[in-house]
């Protein structure tokens, strides 16, 4: 198999892949586009400055990825607090197009890729709503029936039923943002929403529409794809390629996703990640362990796996935070179940982390560097005027679960009060 070589030109801040024309390489191209959506993940700034930066840099990043890719919609930046210069974007997303991509079935196909960045957990209340919005759920079929361009409405907890199909309120809220924000002036297809663009494309039977994202983008992308598919809005055949995503909904939701987007054995068995419609995850990544609270229903992916994942003895504080996160998920009155996954074996650190900071450093490495190593592609880092770089602590806050641990470390009194209240019940 050919190798993929990272391209990182400091002058242009572009990153991409050069590949030989092998069918498995389409998965690396998709991951490279996913990483391109995360180009601002190390940057802080007001929304306008962040947008100007990625508008300038993204076309070069995308064009450096083999496969004739161009940006045809977006990029779009959304911030819960647009004038806050000390945070990054809450969401970043765009659509790339190629007239001819060699897919894993050996056929050249036109392709559209919807690439969705993970949400910045520190970016005000919006980020926390999407990362921690698991204590309330949305009736997914009811939302689709009412129109997915309408804001989702969480179900009253007393109305949650065992056989319902539910998605986390935070995830549904994030999908609504993705669907309803207009591509801004200076971006491709300015004035159109994602929904309007996708429903307006002219697609043949051979066209593929691929949804991808990493981290929280790994929960948003399959949920967005499922909402569009069940509403009848998609054109062409849709495929989903999430990585490192937490569980977006309950068992019925996971079953509906599997029914709508069936998976099949990889056509390139020597490359385990070369399979569509599965969440590609690292066995030692704590993010995909969220938000299942029932180890019996999902032994490989559940929150009890988090504290001892890098060895024992466990760090008491990590155990406490995990308990609080489990309580938040349990409060939904449903059980989150992972989407169908492809689990890649991780490598444990040589020494067991002894402090919260050491734990988070290992967790961040397993959540980012692991996947970059598998695919041979890293997220580009942009250097633009008016933007500042995140500190290590701010980087921890970037991701679900990892960010929750860091946030709790910075708010110990609140954590201790919450743990005491939980133990008193």
Lowest mean pLDDT across 103-107, 140-144, 265-269: 265-269
CATH number at residue 63: 3.40.50.1820
Name the residue range of residue 232's domain: 25-424
3-state secondary structure 67-106: CCCEEEEEEEEECCCCCCCCCCCCEEEEEEEEEEEECCCC
Q: Quote the pLDDT of residue 11.
A: 31
Q: Strand, coil or helix: what is 287? A: helix
Q: What is the mean pLDDT of residues 331-358?
A: 95
Position 13 scores a pLDDT of: 36
Cross-strand partners of 44 = 388
Please indicate, yes or no, if residue 9 is contained in any of the structural domains. Answer: no
For range 360-366, the mean pLDDT: 96
Across residues 408-415, what is the average pLDDT?
Answer: 77
Contact in structure between 180 and 190 (CB atoms under 8 Å): no
> CA–CA separation, 104 vs 102, rounded Å?
7
Q: Where are the alpha helices (DSSP H) in 232-315?
A: 251-260
- Phi and psi torsions of 129, nearest 5°: -60, -40
Instruction: Examine residue 10 and state whether it is found in any structural domain, yes or no.
Output: no
- Alpha helix stretches (DSSP H) within 232-295: 251-260
- The reply to whether 8 falls in a domain is no
* Token pair belonging to 104: 């894993």
Q: For residue 269, is it within any domain?
A: yes
221-229: average pLDDT:
98
Query: Does the pLDDT value for residue 1 go beyond 50?
Result: no
Rounded alpha-carbon distances, angstroms, from residue 33 to 28, 352, 379: 9, 34, 9
Residue identified by tokens 């709508």 is 260
Residue in 176, 241, 179, 175 with CA at minimum distance from that of residue 211: 241
Task: Decide: residue 408, CB within 10 A, 0-12 exposed, 13-18 middle, 19+ buried.
Answer: buried
Mean pLDDT (the chain) is: 88
Domain contains 301:
yes
Q: Report yes or no on 5 lying in a domain.
A: no
DSSP string, 172-183: HHHHHHHHHPBP
Tell which residue, 102, 104, 78, 117, has the closest CA to residue 24.
Answer: 104
Mean pLDDT of 368-375: 95
* Phi, psi torsion values for 213, nearest 5 degrees: 180, 155
Q: Which residue has the higher pLDDT, 120 or 265?
A: 265
Strand spans (E) along 10-148: 43-44, 70-78, 91-102, 108-116, 137-139
* Span 273-323, pLDDT tens digits: 999 999 999 999 999 999 999 999 999 999 999 999 999 999 999 999 999
Pairwise pLDDT comparison (277 vs 87), residue with the higher score = 277
**Distant-in-sequence, close-in-space partners of 180: CB < 8 Å, separation ≥ 6:** 149, 193, 194, 195
Residue 252 maps to a domain: yes
Say if CB 278 and CB 342 are below 8 A apart. Answer: yes
With a CB cutoff of 8 Å and minimum separation 6, the contacts of 198 are: 95, 112, 114, 209, 228, 233, 234, 235
* Mean per-residue pLDDT, 213-229: 97
pTM, two decimal places: 0.92
The total of structural domains in the chain comes to 1
Alpha-carbon gap, residue 141 to 377, rounded angstroms:
37
CA–CA separation, 406 and 404 (whole Å):
5
What confidence score (pLDDT) does residue 8 get? 31
Exposure string over 259-281, b if 16+ CB within 10 A, otherwise e: eebeeeebebeebebbbbbbbbb
**Least confident window among 22-26, 93-97, 261-265, 291-295:** 22-26
In a domain, 138, yes or no: yes
Peptide bond into 75 cis (omega under 30): yes
């Amino acid at each position: 198999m050919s190798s993929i070589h990272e391209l990182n030109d400091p002058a242009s801040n572009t990153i991409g892949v050069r590949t030989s024309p092998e069918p498995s390489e389409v998965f690396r191209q998709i991951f490279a586009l996913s990483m391109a959506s995360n180009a601002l993940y190390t940057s802080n700034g007001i929304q306008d400055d962040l947008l100007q930066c990625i508008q300038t840099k993204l076309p070069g990043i995308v064009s450096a990825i083999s496969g004739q890719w161009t940006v045809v919609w977006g990029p779009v930046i959304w911030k819960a607090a647009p004038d806050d210069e000390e945070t990054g974007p809450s969401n970043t997303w765009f659509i790339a197009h190629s007239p001819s991509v060699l897919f894993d079935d050996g056929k050249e196909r036109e392709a559209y890729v919807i690439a969705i960045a993970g949400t910045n957990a520190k970016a005000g209340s919006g980020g926390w709503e999407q990362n921690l919005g698991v204590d309330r759920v949305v009736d997914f079929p009811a939302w689709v029936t009412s129109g997915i361009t309408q804001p989702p409405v969480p179900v009253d907890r007393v109305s949650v039923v065992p056989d319902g199909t539910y998605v986390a309120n935070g995830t549904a809220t994030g999908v609504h943002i993705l669907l309803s924000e207009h591509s801004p002036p200076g971006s491709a297809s300015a004035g159109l929403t994602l929904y309007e663009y996708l429903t307006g494309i002219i697609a043949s039977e051979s066209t593929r529409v691929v949804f991808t994202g990493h981290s929280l983008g790994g929960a948003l992308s399959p949920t967005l794809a499922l909402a569009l598919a069940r509403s009848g809005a998609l054109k062409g055949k849709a495929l989903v390629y999430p990585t490192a995503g937490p569980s977006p909904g309950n068992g019925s939701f996971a079953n509906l996703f599997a029914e709508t987007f069936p998976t099949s054995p990889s056509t390139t068995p020597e490359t385990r990640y070369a399979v569509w419609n599965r969440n590609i995850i690292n066995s030692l990544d704590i993010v995909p362990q969220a938000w299942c609270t029932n180890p019996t229903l999902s032994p490989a992916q559940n929150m009890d796996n988090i504290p001892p994942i890098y060895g024992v003895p466990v760090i008491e504080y990590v155990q406490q935070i995990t308990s609080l996160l489990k309580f938040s998920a349990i409060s939904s009155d449903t059980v989150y179940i992972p989407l169908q996954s492809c689990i890649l074996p991780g490598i444990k650190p040589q020494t067991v982390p002894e402090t919260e900071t050491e734990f988070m450093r290992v967790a961040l490495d397993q959540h980012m560097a692991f996947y970059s190593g598998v695919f041979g592609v890293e997220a580009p880092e942009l250097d633009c005027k008016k933007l500042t770089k995140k500190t290590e602590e701010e980087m921890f806050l970037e991701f679900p679960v990892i960010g929750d641990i860091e946030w709790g470390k910075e708010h110990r009194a609140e954590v201790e009060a919450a743990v005491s209240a939980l133990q008193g019940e």
